[in-house]
Structure formats: structure tokens, C-alpha cells
Amino acid sequence: MFPVYNISCSEATRKSWPELVGKPGSEAKATIERDLPGVTAVGNIRDLNLCCNRVWVNVNNDPQRNVATVPRVG
């Protein structure tokens, strides 16, 4: 389960990180959590619930685990 923070989607200073596509997943996670304190960057498994303290980071299924799509809040 994700920690609960008082962050609404409209208050998020960033909602996506297009510059992270192609970067290692671990680097993307660190960048996102530094840019937007109070969120958790999570991997490929998605659900349909909107959660504004979570950023989806989809990575390629290869040894490099590079970011495959633009990470987004949700």
C-alpha cells in the first residue's frame, strides 16, 4: 500500500517526466521522488485507481530496465 499524503492532483508541481524516457528505471525513480516530494514512483503493474501520490514508471523488460514510456502521476 502507498503512504497517504495530502497531495491533490491539481497541487502537483509536475505531472509527467518526458525527459526520463530511455533512462535507467532507478535513476527515474530517484529523480521523480526528488522533484515531487511525497510521491512514490512505482513500476509496471498498474491499477485503475487514480492516486496523486504515485507516479507510474514503465520500464522495458530487458537487463537495462530503461524507462519505456513517459512517467505520469496517477
pTM: 0.79
The class of domain 15-73 in CATH terms is: alpha beta
| Residue labelled with grid coordinates 510521491 | 39
Residue 70 is predicted with a pLDDT of: 94
Q: What is the pLDDT of residues 33-42, one digit of tens each?
A: 999 888 888 8
- List own/partner pairs for 15-19 with CB under 8 A and 24 or more apart: 15/72, 15/73, 16/70, 16/71, 16/72, 16/73, 17/55, 17/70, 17/71, 18/70
The angle subtended at Cα 26 by Cα 49 and Cα 56, nearest 5°, is 15
